[in-house]
Chain A
């Protein structure tokens, strides 16, 4: 077995990812080759020499995580997709009510009421506008006379 392949298999053996057939083959290789045994020993020593950190996160970590999750849960719920069907239904209802009103009895229709309101409001405004126009016309004819003199 080539060294690269042997190394790969030794690594996979240590992580428990070799099949039974591969394990048998590796066993034969180890029995036959001293180089293979030294390589295996070296990997084992490297692993055994690793310093295991015993440092821990701050004692308040769990409380902070829980607080952050509480904070983030609220807005997430408000803007979550769960609201979308309800909003769509509400929009549909509003449109349906609008259409019903528009096609319903014009006497009770809000559109008709609004239109009549506009007419009532427009009447005095139109009168004022026509009066203003006539005044402007009178002033402008006077000024023309002055220019003519």
Chain B
């Protein structure tokens, strides 16, 4: 889901209303909110978890914590607040388990890998032709990035958060978040040099 700043501001007002409605006892409001942000949030969580069931649990935990700590919600964007909670949960889990997942790891009963699951149905607008292969290569190369760089990369590229928002989530300066992104992009550029050349020659 990619939104412009104007859309995001408008949505923020809606979010505030929905949160207030949920607090006042309207249980439907929670469903609307979850529905609205499920794709970017779940996609992000899935990249850092052990598979769909695990991602489901983390997703639920993020929402429970968000609603419980609603009085601390001072950010402009609810999505960025949700990502912040997801980030904290993820850091806790990584510290506890030192868990590193490969995109080749089977994560479902039918033996599908995380890479296949993530790539399964959706493609970016420019990747419908030769770009799909490149997309998979990006997934694989990004999975090898250090955690903080990987997180900045996906928060920016997939969730469309600004560097200011990413810096808040990672509790660092904007310059640090930018530097992490630069490292990530330069590593990907090196790893994907051949694919880029091919695509450039093909004019894609």
- Do they bind each other? yes
A45 beta carbon closer than 8 Å to chain B: yes
A48 touches B38 (CB 8 A): no
Best-surrounded residue of B31, B68, B123, B178 (most CB of chain A within 10 A): B178
A4 to chain B, nearest CB (A): 7
A74 beta carbon closer than 8 Å to chain B: no
B126 touches A49 (CB 8 A): yes
Interface of B is mostly: helix
A127 beta carbon closer than 8 Å to chain B: no
A54 beta carbon closer than 8 Å to chain B: yes
Chain B residue numbers with a CB within 8 Å of A42 are: 189, 196
B52 beta carbon closer than 8 Å to chain A: yes
A-B contact count (CB 8 A): 130
Interface size class of B (residues with CB under 8 A): 35 or more
A144 beta carbon closer than 8 Å to chain B: no
CA distance A133 to B69 in the complex (A): 70
B56 touches A58 (CB 8 A): yes
Pick out which of these stretches binds chain A: B11-19, B73-81, B83-91, B155-163.
B155-163
Would you give 23 A-B contacts (Cβ < 8 Å), ordered by A?
A8-B182, A15-B163, A16-B162, A17-B163, A43-B185, A45-B126, A45-B199, A46-B185, A48-B126, A49-B126, A49-B131, A49-B134, A49-B135, A49-B138, A51-B135, A54-B39, A55-B43, A55-B121, A57-B38, A57-B60, A61-B38, A65-B60, A68-B60
